[in-house]
């Protein structure tokens, strides 16, 4: 029983992390039809930059901020300098993101090497919290859960209650019509790309603090984002939340009850989702 609840908690925190990464991925995809395969690289680069900032300043909060803003700027540059010039050419954009991810991965290997880094947590988040049933649980993991909920609510508020957010949703539904009504879609694209990339960088610091940062993590989170978004529906933040929940729980239950094939369960969920609902749970028609 304790194992069961512990697995649920672990699944939820992992889902929270996946949601942070995948929500940016799905937003960018939904609006621009750009499958950003460099999303995992943004996650890892954000984590490394956050780590460097923490080394310098000793502040975890600054590190998280640096992770967000550095990647937001990089995302903005990518959109303005590259993707803007190849709009509508989905395959080409995707290939470009692959090129960028290869170069970034090698760049990170050159600068930070193959070692594993660990963030130092602020005292407040360090240690354990007493909970019913499972007795004790790492405070930091509860913090991740809370952060994801807050970010999710902020995103919901941003998308549903602000003007920019409404424009973004309108763009996801029908980009051309939105442009025809006089909205500057390029600015919208830039904003969304910056937010999406920034969230990946922020998730890098948050996730890197829970686990660790090392080469190869970029791929892990890229795969997680892909599956989450395929399952949840592309372009939907709610879908990303549901997909993240399913995948996070499946992975942790797989790990707890049949350790060898943890990854295979995520895969089975994806195949089932594709077989019965190819556009994902919350996805509209492509």
Q: Which is nearer to another protein, 40 or 50 (CB)?
A: 40
CB of residue 37 to another protein, shortest distance in Å: 8
The alpha carbon of 97 is separated from its chain's Cα centroid by a whole number of angstroms, namely 16
**Number of Cβ within a 10 Å radius of residue 158:** 15
With respect to another protein, which residue has the nearer C-beta, 59 or 94?
A: 94
Tokens of 64: 């998280």
Of 154 and 173, the one with the shorter C-beta distance to another protein is 173
Distance CA 97, CA 81 (A): 13
**Shortest Å, Cβ 39 to another protein:** 11
Q: Which is nearer to another protein, 54 or 97 (CB)?
A: 97
Least distance CB 236 / another protein (angstroms) = 15
CB of 30 to another protein, least distance (A): 12
Four-residue CA torsion sign, 189, 192, 198, 201: negative
> What CA–CA distance (Å, rounded) separates 180 from 184?
9
- 234: Cβ–Cβ under 8 A, 6 or more apart, which residues? 26, 29, 30, 279, 280, 283, 286
**Rounded distance, CA 193 to CA 30, Å?**
11
Nearer to another protein (CB atom), residue 98 or residue 128: 98
What tokens were used for 97?
């993101």
Residues that bind another protein (CB under 8 A): 33, 35, 37, 82, 89-92, 94-96, 98-100, 102-103, 105-107, 109-110, 219, 223, 226-227, 229-230, 234, 260-261, 263-264, 266-267, 270-271, 274-275, 278-279, 286
Shortest spacing between CB 123 and another protein, in angstroms:
37
């Amino acid at each position: 029983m304790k194992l069961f609840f512990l697995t649920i908690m672990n699944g939820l925190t992992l889902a929270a992390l996946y949601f942070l990464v995948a929500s940016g991925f799905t937003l960018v995809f939904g609006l621009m039809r750009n499958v950003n395969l460099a999303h995992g690289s943004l996650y890892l680069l954000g984590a490394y930059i956050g780590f460097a900032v923490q080394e310098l300043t000793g502040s975890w909060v600054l590190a998280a901020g640096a992770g967000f803003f550095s990647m937001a700027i990089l995302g903005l540059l990518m959109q303005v300098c590259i993707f803007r010039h190849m709009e509508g050419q989905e395959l080409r954009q995707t290939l470009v993101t692959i090129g960028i991810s290869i170069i970034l991965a090698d760049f990170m290997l050159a600068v930070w090497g193959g070692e594993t880094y660990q963030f130092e947590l602020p005292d407040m988040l360090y240690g354990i919290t007493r909970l019913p049933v499972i007795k004790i649980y790492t405070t930091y993991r509860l913090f991740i859960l809370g952060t994801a909920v807050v970010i999710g609510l902020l995103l919901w508020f941003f998308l549903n209650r602000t003007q920019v957010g409404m424009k973004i949703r309108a763009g996801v539904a029908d980009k051309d019509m939105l442009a025809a009504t006089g909205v500057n879609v390029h600015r919208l694209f830039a904003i969304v790309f910056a937010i999406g990339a920034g969230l990946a960088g922020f998730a890098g610091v948050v996730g890197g603090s829970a686990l660790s940062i090392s080469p190869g993590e970029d791929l892990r989170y890229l795969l997680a984002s892909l599956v989450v978004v395929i399952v949840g529906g592309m372009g939907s933040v709610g879908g990303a939340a549901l997909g993240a929940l399913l995948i996070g729980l499946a992975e942790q239950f797989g790990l707890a009850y049949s350790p060898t094939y943890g990854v295979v369960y995520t895969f089975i969920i994806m195949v089932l989702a594709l077989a019965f609902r190819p556009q994902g749970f919350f996805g509209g028609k492509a």
